[in-house]
Chain A
């Protein structure tokens, strides 16, 4: 078997470009990826009569390769950690089009705006009990509103102190739904995989 010189300039150029494009990922992961890619090039070139150019070409553009690593990494983190930040980062890559990714992110952020509103209402109700509440004008169900500073003229407060546990629970439920919907979206995208035709 042909042994490829470990410091071949073409390999080093590819590795340097890949390293630059992977910047931001954990250093340990970058080192592991580069070591594996270097090993792949050496193996493939050795099996093709030392054709290093062909081996490097088989990996495609290093920037595209780094994008795939980043996307898979973010998707795995979103699925495994379940943290809001990881899910948001995962959504940035979960979708075939920019519009799809943007829409999914907007839905997720909107869900979180409502979560924060509900939790904020629960806390404010404890501090300003007479000014915060769920208000409704009798006979007009469309006038239902969660408001601070009192309701509209003639509005009646619903729930009273029960607003505190109700808003807290509703906030948790909405957070659960938003996280699961976003993770489902990411998983749906992940199942479709990344596969070029050649």
Chain B
């Protein structure tokens, strides 16, 4: 996981743990979000998460999570023959998954917006 600390940021163990927890809480939403526009296979999901959301996750974390989201009916998966010489497992959102993603995104947006307002004086002071 990348750290977003700046040189003047006092990164205490407590802050590190807090950041990890924060990111963990967003993991499921991030995966549903990255699959919102199109179907993707595992490595594409990993790279898209890293490039678009700064969530550099290990493959060992994402694949089991994809399996669980599929078991819960939020994702659908299909094997597609690829030019690479081997088939790839593509994931796409199911109707339930799209509904869950939309609900979670709305909640996230409302929460972030409210917290942003609350924290604006703190950020301005810096």
Binding site for B on A (CB under 8 A): 1, 3-4, 6, 29, 32-33, 35-40, 42-44, 46-47, 58-60, 64-65, 68-69, 71-73, 75-77, 79-80, 190-198
Q: How far is the CA of A76 from the CA of B72 in the complex (A)?
A: 6
Which of chain B's residues have a CB closer than 8 A to the CB of A69?
63-64, 67
Once the chains are docked, how many angstroms separate the CA of A1 from the CA of B65? 28
- Cα distance, A33 to B83, chains bound together (Å): 21
Task: Pick the contact of B65: A4, A37, A77, A194 (CB < 8 A).
Answer: A194
| A131–B99 alpha-carbon span in the complex (Å) | 55
Please report the number of residue pairs spanning A and B whose Cβ atoms sit closer than 8 angstroms.
114
Chain A residue with minimal CB distance to B16? A197
> Contact: A59 with B60, CB < 8 Å?
yes
B21 within 8 A of A: yes
1/0 per residue, CB under 8 A from A, across B59-91: the answer is 111011101100111000001000111111100
A32 to B71, CA, bound (A): 13
Given the complex of chains A and B, what is the CA–CA distance between A79 and B58 in angstroms?
25
- B residues near A (Cβ < 8 Å) are 1, 16, 20-21, 23-25, 27-28, 41-43, 56-61, 63-65, 67-68, 71-73, 79, 83-89
Nearest-neighbor residue (CB-CB) of A55 within chain B: B59
Q: Which residues of A have CB within 8 Å of B87?
A: 35, 39
Are B68 and A198 in contact, CB atoms less than 8 angstroms apart?
no
Residues on A with beta carbons closer than 8 Å to the beta carbon of B65: 72, 193-194
In the bound complex, residues from chain B placing their C-beta under 8 Å from that of A197 are: 1, 16, 20
A38 touches B86 (CB 8 A): yes
For A76, list chain B residues within 8 Å (CB).
67-68, 71-72
Bound-complex Cα distance A138 to B60 (A):
63
The answer to whether B1 and A196 touch across the interface, beta carbons within 8 angstroms, is yes
List A contacts of B84 (CB < 8 A): 1, 3, 42-43, 46
In the complex, which residues of chain A have a beta carbon less than 8 angstroms from the beta carbon of B60? Answer: 58-60, 64-65, 68, 196
Question: Is the beta-carbon distance between B61 and A42 smaller than 8 angstroms?
Answer: no
Chain A to chain B contacts (Cβ below 8 Å), 23 pairs:
A1-B83, A3-B85, A4-B85, A29-B67, A33-B63, A36-B42, A39-B41, A43-B84, A58-B58, A60-B59, A72-B67, A73-B68, A76-B71, A80-B71, A190-B68, A191-B24, A193-B25, A193-B28, A195-B1, A196-B58, A196-B61, A198-B56, A198-B58
| Among A42, A72, A75, residue most surrounded by chain B Cβ atoms (within 10 Å) | A72
- Is B72's CB under 8 angstroms from A80's CB? yes
- Beyond the given pairs A3-B84, A192-B21, A198-B1, 12 more chain A to chain B contacts, judged by CB atoms under 8 angstroms and listed by A's residue number, are A36-B42, A40-B43, A40-B63, A42-B85, A43-B88, A60-B58, A65-B60, A73-B67, A75-B68, A80-B73, A195-B27, A198-B58
Question: CB-CB < 8 A to A1: which residues of B?
Answer: 83-84
**CB pair B71 A193 closer than 8 Å:** no
Chain B residues within 8 Å of A75, by CB: 68
Contact B89–A36 (Cβ < 8 Å): yes
If A37-B63, A194-B61, A196-B61 touch, whether A43 touches B68 (CB-CB below 8 Å) is no
Q: What residues of chain A lie closer than 8 Å to B24, measured between beta carbons? A: 191-195
